[in-house]
Amino acid sequence: MDIPMINPRATQMDAEVLSNKRLGSYHHIVLAVNELAGYARPGNFVAISVGGPGSAMVLRRAFAIYRASMRADGIGIMELVVAPHGNGSRWLADRAPGEKVNIVAPLGTAFGIPTEPVRAMLVGGGYGSAPLFALAETLKSRGCRVDMVLGASTAAKIYAPLEGKRSVNSMTITTDDGTAGIQGRVSDVIPGLIELNQTEIIYSCGPMAMLSAITDIANRYGTMHQCSVEESMACGIGVCMTCVLPVEGSDGIVRMVRTCIEGPVMDGSKVTWNKSREVPEGVWGK
């Protein structure tokens, strides 16, 4: 079996914070990354050193890349959506324009883009929807029909619904408490949308339980499902082995693979969605 290596375009650099704006429950942060902007693809992520010199937070934090592009003035930028929950993400959310953060990017696998127009559904949970916006734009540019479903516990945690609406053919919003869109979960509306729009492929990003539920639906309808898994990554470069998941390979054997290297984008039908987080029976080497 071939052993995948770190993204060959990955580079470590000090990136200047160009802007940091609070948007509802999240922070939208823009970094100056020079030519790295041209290498990032929807689904890639960035590993950021947090806490500053002398901090006890020695591990980097992984964040999905929201967008990467070249500005009209020639500056390459990388946009992130940060939910300030833990110490590391709160430190990043506090960075002011002009400060620098050390990053390694782009890392991980990207979403596969079809060579011909298809009917696609993009499903995001909370701020996990961030990498789907650039994907939607890429798919639309290829002539694809794009339907988007955004879900969260409450309206305040739906990220940029109006922006998403501009990039897709249809937008469906669900919230657990009913404060926006349809009350319920994304898995409640996906079957009907697959039938209505004749969906051929689903792209998703969000909590693991959501990805598991979408996989079940996709399997039932015979629909392809590419998902960006949210497994914790301590190093982001394949060294520490803390982000492993049981995934079936092309040879039919289930192995524990690193989501930071073989992922985060994976074929949902190949992942063993083990809620207990234990290594299941039948995995190679057990």
Count of CA atoms in the C-beta half-sphere (13 A) of 98? 1
Nearest to 110 by CA among 252, 274, 266, 280: 266
Query: Which pair of tokens denotes residue 42?
Result: 């929807």
Q: Measured between alpha carbons, how far is 256 from 249 in angstroms, rounded to an integer?
A: 10
Kindly state the percentage of the chain with pLDDT values over 70.
93
> Residue 283 above 80 pLDDT?
no
Q: Is 215 exposed, middle or buried (0-12, 13-18, 19+ CB in 10 A)?
A: buried
> Residue 175 above 90 pLDDT?
yes
Q: Measured between alpha carbons, how far is 9 from 109 in angstroms, rounded to an integer?
A: 11
What pTM, to 2 d.p., does this model score?
0.92
Model confidence at 89, pLDDT cuts 50, 70, 90, reads very high
Instruction: Please give the domain boundaries of the chain with CATH numbers for all domains.
Output: 11-107 (2.40.30.10), 119-228 (3.40.50.80), 236-286 (no CATH)
> What's the pLDDT tens digit per position in 41-64?
999 999 999 998 878 888 899 999
